[in-house]
């Protein structure tokens, strides 16, 4: 008995040390010749494969060892907040120290504001313009080298703010890129625009590294128990009241990808309205407004069916795979990965993934270099590797194939069009999937909703997430009334429930947009006003459904 503590210490040491003993051969940070700091929302499997691949590639090129120092703090929204905070602190030190100027609220709100336009007369700058010019002309550092992974919107936002800077790739590897390509045809190089989506920045501040679409995941066994015999095929299916409490959804304020999936729903609704209406400018304007409203009403129903809004992108796939939820929304590669995992365990085909026809674009997952990158030359080299054929093969090659991943099949889609040709097909995990041919029935129109991307996620948070209890209670009461045969009560309640005039296209483009781009107190005030409004509205709908407010 006297030796029990000693045995416990030995066992504890083994448990803690085993992962390090079994680790694949990798260069330790302290032993590496060079180090690169990369902030990313990518999963551990992607981080590991690109670390292993880049280390080998870099050693063969230079004879030196390299260490990828990953910083993982959450999704793209958390990364954006962190990056902006680091630049704010660094610029304040620069402004008050090297510049010897006084810090003010104007300077704080201006130096990363892309709406401040600069001319060629710096001597005439006001305080806001001077701050903006000083930042864009500086090498202020956040301590980070590379931003790897996220959405094109998030990277475009950072580029406009000035935190991402031009890479030399367009000059050194111009043959890797082309300006545009016809939809439904495989381009010869990475197109700047394809099916309405942007795949790289014309100024070279960011480049798409992989492609992805959005779709529905579902568990066939759970659906059958709920009386749904067929698999789900369209976004509208997720609004079925039989799925109440059964939908797994990510928080769009934490996940830019999930917010883009919501945007795809809105875009599809707009397209359907426009296809059924006239084509003149007035009809188009009305169609966009009506489609926006229909899209938000669909998102509202899905939110009312949601079991939760999670911070973790992988959770919906796991929960749907295990049968804890009937369905959910997912990026394609998570869906494919989970589908393969279920099949590999010989657990049948209960897990399904489908991209809604005419309901999803193929967007890119970019990479870019930060202003003031401490290891700028190495950052350029890493971008070159990620966009090279050697780096691109990691996304979809099978484990063990020549040039493929060493441990994990990533099941992602490379952005380089060459890899969808005959010489490479036998190596790929998803031979039947070609993103350049998958968008023939959908084209993204940036002018419809692109300028409202941030507004959309704020609307979902305030009106559907923060008010979730009242939303769900009203939704349940409406369908309880239908089940009891009280159709008049149910119809009146649903009309109140789905009245979203306070977040119409016009309101989003004016009132909500102004609040998000004004002083922070304006956004706080907006959130309070909208949450109070919708809580009251949902409570009223619930009372009507319960028969308490009959005429």
Query: Could you read off the pLDDT of 230-255 as tens digits, one per residue?
Result: 889 999 999 999 999 999 999 998 88
pLDDT interval class at 14 (50, 70, 90): very low
Query: Could you read off the pLDDT of 318-337 as tens digits, one per residue?
Result: 999 999 999 999 988 888 87
Domain for residue 134, yes or no?
A: yes
Query: Could you read off the pLDDT of 162-209 as tens digits, one per residue?
Result: 999 999 999 999 999 998 787 777 899 999 999 889 999 999 999 999
Listed residue (530, 509, 511) closest to 289, CA to CA: 509
CA–CA dist 24, 42 (Å, integer)? 19
CATH code (residue 168)? 3.40.190
Say what the pLDDT of residue 15 is.
41
Element spanning 309, H or E: strand 306-310
CA–CA dist 121, 130 (Å, integer)? 11
Longest dimension (CA), the chain: 88
39 has pLDDT over 70: yes
Domain hosting 413: range is 76-212+363-425
Domain for residue 49, yes or no?
A: no
Q: Could you tell me how many helices (H) and strands (E) the chain has, helices first?
A: 22, 15
Domain for residue 127, yes or no?
A: yes
6 has pLDDT over 50: no
Domain for residue 193, yes or no?
A: yes
Q: Determine what percent of the chain falls in helix, strand and coil, rounding each to the nearest 5.
A: 55, 15, 35
Query: Could you read off the pLDDT of 394-453 as tens digits, one per residue?
Result: 999 999 999 999 999 898 999 999 999 888 988 998 888 888 887 667 889 999 999 999
- Within 10 angstroms of residue 78's Cβ, the number of other Cβ atoms is 17
Listed residue (344, 135, 43, 343) closest to 51, CA to CA: 43
Query: Could you read off the pLDDT of 178-188 as tens digits, one per residue?
Result: 987 877 778 99
- Structural domains of the chain, count: 1
Mean pLDDT score across all residues of the chain: 91
Query: Could you read off the pLDDT of 341-390 as tens digits, one per residue?
Result: 787 776 678 999 999 988 988 999 999 999 999 999 999 999 999 999 99
- Phi, psi (5° rounding) for residue 337? -60, -45
Say what the pLDDT of residue 549 is.
67
179: helix, coil or strand? strand
Domain for residue 85, yes or no?
A: yes
Domain for residue 114, yes or no?
A: yes
């Amino acid at each position: 008995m006297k030796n029990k503590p000693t045995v416990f210490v030995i066992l504890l040491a083994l448990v803690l040390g085993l992962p390090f003993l079994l680790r694949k051969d990798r260069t330790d940070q302290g032993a590496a010749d060079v180090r690169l700091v990369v902030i990313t929302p990518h999963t551990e499997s992607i981080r590991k494969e690109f670390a292993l691949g880049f280390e080998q590639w870099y050693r063969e090129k230079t004879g030196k060892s390299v260490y990828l120092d990953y910083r993982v703090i959450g999704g793209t929204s958390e990364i954006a907040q962190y990056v902006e905070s680091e630049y704010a602190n660094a610029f304040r030190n620069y402004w008050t120290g090297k510049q010897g100027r006084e810090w003010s609220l104007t300077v704080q709100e201006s130096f990363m504001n892309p709406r401040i336009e600069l001319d060629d007369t710096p001597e005439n700058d006001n305080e806001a313009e001077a701050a903006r010019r000083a930042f864009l002309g500086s090498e202020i550092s956040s301590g980070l080298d590379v931003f790897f992974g996220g959405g094109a919107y998030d990277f475009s936002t950072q580029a406009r703010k000035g935190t991402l800077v031009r890479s030399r790739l367009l000059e050194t590897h111009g043959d890797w890129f082309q300006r545009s390509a016809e939809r439904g045809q495989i381009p010869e190089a990475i197109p700047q625009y394809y099916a309405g989506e942007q795949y790289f920045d014309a100024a070279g501040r960011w480049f798409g590294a992989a492609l992805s679409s959005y779709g529905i995941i579902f568990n066939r066994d759970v659906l059958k128990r709920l009386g749904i015999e067929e698999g789900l095929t369209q976004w509208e299916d997720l609004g079925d009241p039989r799925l109440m409490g059964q939908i797994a959804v990510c928080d769009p304020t934490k996940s830019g990808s999930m917010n883009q999936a919501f945007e795809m729903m809105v875009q599809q609704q707009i397209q359907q309205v426009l296809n059924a209406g006239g084509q003149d400018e007035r009809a188009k304007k009305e169609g966009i407004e009506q489609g926006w409203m229909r899209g938000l009403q669909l998102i509202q129903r899905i939110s009312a069916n949601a079991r939760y809004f999670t911070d973790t992108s992988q959770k919906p796939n796991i929960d749907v795979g295990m049968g804890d939820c009937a369905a959910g929304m997912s990026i394609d590669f998570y869906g494919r990965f989970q589908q393969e995992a279920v099949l590999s365990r010989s657990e049948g085909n209960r897990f399904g993934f489908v991209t809604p026809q005419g309901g999803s674009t193929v967007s890119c997952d970019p990479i870019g270099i930060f202003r003031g990158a401490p290891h700028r030359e190495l950052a350029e080299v890493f971008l070159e590797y990620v966009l090279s054929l050697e780096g691109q093969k990691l996304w979809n090659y099978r484990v063990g194939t020549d040039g493929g991943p060493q441990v994990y099949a990533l099941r992602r889609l490379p952005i380089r069009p060459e890899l969808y040709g005959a010489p490479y097909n036998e190596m790929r995990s998803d031979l039947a999937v070609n993103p350049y041919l998958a968008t023939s029935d959908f084209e993204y129109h940036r002018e419809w909703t692109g300028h409202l991307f941030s507004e959309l996620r704020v609307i979902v948070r305030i009106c559907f997430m923060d008010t979730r209890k009242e939303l769900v209670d009203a939704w349940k009461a409406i369908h309880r009334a239908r089940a009891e045969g009280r159709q008049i009560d149910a119809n009146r309640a649903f009309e109140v429930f789905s009245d979203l005039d306070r977040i119409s296209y016009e309101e989003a483009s004016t009132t909500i947009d102004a609040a998000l781009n004004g002083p922070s107190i304006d956004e706080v005030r907006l959130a309070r006003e909208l949450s109070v409004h919708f809580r009251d509205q949902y409570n009223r709908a619930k009372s009507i459904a319960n028969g308490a407010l009959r005429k």
